[in-house]
Chains A and B, each alone.
Chain A
Amino acid sequence: MKKMLTSVVVLLSSLCLSAGAYAQTKEIRVLLANHPYGELLKSQIPEFEKQSGIKVNFESLQESQLTTKLTTEFATKSSSVDVFMTRPLQEGKMFNKNGWYEPLAKYDFSDYPKTVMGVAQAGGAPYLVPLVTEWQVLYYRKDLFKAAGLEVPKTFAELEAAAKKLNSDAVAGIASRGKGAAAVTQLSSYVYNYGGAYIDKGVAVFDKPAAIDAIRYYGKILGSYGPKGVTSMSWENIMPLFQAGKVAMWTDASVFYGQVVDPAKTQIPAADVGIANLPAGPKASSPFIVTSWGIAVANQSKNKEAALKFLDWASSKDLAIKGMLSNITMARTSVWKDPKVVAAVNPGLVATRDHAAEFGNPLDRPYMSAVGEARDQIGELIIESINTKGESAKLPEMAKAKAARVDELLKDAGEYGKP
């Protein structure tokens, strides 16, 4: 009996000891996105844990699920998230309004261009660190262009002509997202190049003639020369088609370049894949260039010190260089001049970035709190236009109703009429 008691005491005390040791190791919970940079962070986290002694519990989520999870956890005040990847344009405004981001006054932002910082702060107070920038480009098949005797299109007229010529039963002339809300970001550059916008000074303006013309053009080229079933396609459906050689041209974000030329994933030789500026429209050549991903500390985090340490590490220049070397286009300015990067990165990527940085637009969607619903509204216009090859007679009427709906959403959030 005595022996048994002793062993119980020993067991209990060892349990207490290990619990004590457990309490001393700092732990943080990190939510990452299923994005190439999220993957990179995941692979480097053991390194961080070794350096800092902080244990990182991470979860990876698809982008819209990440927004849903964060919003529900923060709004119901039940969150244990310390650090998270975040989309400044999708949720930034709403998260900041609700005070879910920890202010980052002490972070050194000198390496980030002003255009990039626009969506990372409000009233001069930064709340997230930009990680990745994306801009819209035209991916094209050099071999098909050569065979057809075509030059890379510089204008929308040339783009349409090329799409028509390259379109066949086996290969779609052009592809771009057609799946309603998902297509809104890719349509944005077309709208800008027609001289339009989604929202101007806090009022929905996508029912104005410039935007309607852009929506018609987008619908015409995709409806006539796009892949079959394009109205249900986002990038995850188009990329495999391009990789399988079923698409001649594809306009989408620059971030996919790495995967398009990865010999493990694509059937076309990297030498046959070209990257160029999105052709100019009648009014401008202003592709979007956006801070697609950033990283932030949760305001309600109980481990802020450890969380900030992780944030510093995850947004460090060293990791940014690693990102650049795996074809992720990072937001830090200095990494684009790093000799290792300059030697490795595709010159087309650099050239299109230079163009976008100079002439581009820092938004690719209606920048507002209720962005999800606004995207659905604009998405309906895109589908209508594609289904009618841009000819729909009721498009202006529809656009007017949708714009009124978006204005309502802006009013509900107290953002109407505010720049």
Chain B
Amino acid sequence: MRQPSFVERHLRVIFPLPAILFIALLMIFPIFYTLALSFTNWNLTSGMPMSFVGLRNFFRVFAEPRFHDAVWRTLSFTFLAVFFEAVLGTAIALILNRAFIGKGLAKLLLLLPLVATPVAVGIVFNLFYDPTIGLANWALSSLGLPQGLWVSDATSVLPSLVIVDVWQWTPMITLIVLAGLAGLSEEPFEAARVDGATPWQVLRHVTIPMVMPVILTAVILRLIDALKTFDIIFAMTGGGPGYASETLNIMGFKYSFEYFRMGQASVILIALFFFVLLCSLGIMKLRSSSEN
């Protein structure tokens, strides 16, 4: 009998090896490298070799009011954006789930924001938001409404950015929820109708609970992405005016590629990593309890 070759004997190691290598090199290594950097004083501009400084970077960054503001801003941006996206996205999915003329066209139009490049979206919205020559203020004033400063003012910049994010990402939630709705079986609906439930009751007590796991999955995906939002904010405000729209990601970028303080930038990014992790764990827990 022929002996199985080395490859044949180790198939279960060899086949997943490329994927494991890929994950190790491109995902696990950078995370640990960032962690290692956060304990060093590596600064590109100082010309000095990096040395171990223990927890100094953590103390310095965590004591910084600018960091606290950035954390708060990251969380409020994320929750505002994802909340509106989830509500609007589900509502639109429910509307699109019934038959009507032009449904295909509506679905196609809905896809457009999703495929647009975020930086291009940012630039177009900046033109739209311009307080002097922008379309938004022109529209408001022709309706006789007071004009806004949009991204040019510290108080309105975050909501203005949320609007852009909602515009771009609501369709993603819609698509996922639509898929979820299509997969529901007809029986519970029939049963509810036979029992004389009103359409509102059907929606409230049958449809929503049944698609809830799907909605929560969509929310997890969006939440992770929204916490890490960089492109739109960077293209539109660069974190300004002042630091008024500086989220953790933008702050990390500034510390690394404008101040070149890699050690402290790593601390900021590790903090962001933990927020992402915590939020996703929380939602996953919520999801498993809603499934039960």
Contacts and interface: CB of A to CB of B under 8 A. Distances in A.
Interface of A: 64, 68, 71-72, 75-76, 94, 97-99, 172, 178-180, 227-233, 237, 240-241, 244, 246, 369-370, 372-373, 376, 379-380, 383, 387, 412-413
A75 B260 contact: yes
A373 B259 contact: yes
Interface in B256-286: 257-260
B242 A380 contact: yes
A177 B254 CA distance: 20
Given A227-B132, A228-B131, A241-B133, A98 B257 contact: no
A369 B152 contact: no
B45 A369 contact: yes
A381 B248 CA distance: 22
Given A240-B133, A372-B258, 13 more contacts: A71-B45, A178-B241, A180-B240, A228-B132, A231-B153, A231-B241, A232-B240, A232-B241, A369-B46, A376-B254, A380-B243, A383-B154, A387-B154
Contact of A229 (B44, B131, B258, B259): B131
A249 to B, nearest CB: 15
A205 to B, nearest CB: 22
B90 interface: no
Contact of B242 (A94, A180, A228, A244): A180
Contacts of B176: none
B242 A412 contact: no
A412 B263 CA distance: 14
Contact of A232 (B44, B45, B237, B243): B237
Contact of B258 (A64, A227, A387): A64
Contact of B241 (A97, A172, A179, A227): A179
B151 interface: yes
B132 A98 contact: no
B24 to A, nearest CB: 22
Interface string B130-170: 11110000000000000101111110010000000000000
B45 A98 contact: yes
A179 B244 CA distance: 12
27 contacts: A68-B257, A72-B44, A75-B45, A75-B260, A94-B45, A98-B45, A172-B132, A180-B240, A227-B131, A227-B132, A229-B131, A229-B132, A229-B149, A230-B152, A231-B152, A231-B242, A232-B152, A232-B157, A232-B237, A237-B130, A241-B133, A369-B45, A373-B259, A376-B254, A380-B242, A383-B242, A412-B46
A244 B45 CA distance: 41
Contacts of A71: 44-45, 260
B153 A229 contact: yes
A326 B258 CA distance: 32
A83 B102 CA distance: 58
Secondary structure call for the B interface: loop
Given A68-B258, A373-B258, A413 B241 contact: no
B241 to A, nearest CB: 4
A352 B147 CA distance: 39
Contacts of A372: 258-259
Contacts of A387: 154
A182 B132 CA distance: 20
B47 interface: yes
Contacts of B47: 97-99
A372 B258 CA distance: 6
A306 B143 CA distance: 63
Given A232-B152, A370-B45, A372-B258, A379 B131 contact: no
Query: What 6 A-B pairs come out closest when comparing CB atoms?
Result: A229-B152, A228-B131, A75-B44, A229-B131, A231-B241, A98-B47
A404 to B, nearest CB: 14
Contacts of B154: 231, 383, 387
B131 A413 contact: no
A242 to B, nearest CB: 11
A274 to B, nearest CB: 22
B194 to A, nearest CB: 59
A72 B241 contact: no
B132 A246 contact: yes
Which one of B130, B157, B241 has the highest number of Cβ atoms from chain A below 10 Å of its Cβ?
B241
A232 B45 CA distance: 28
Contacts of A76: 44
A61 B148 CA distance: 33
B239 to A, nearest CB: 9
A258 to B, nearest CB: 22
B257 A72 contact: yes
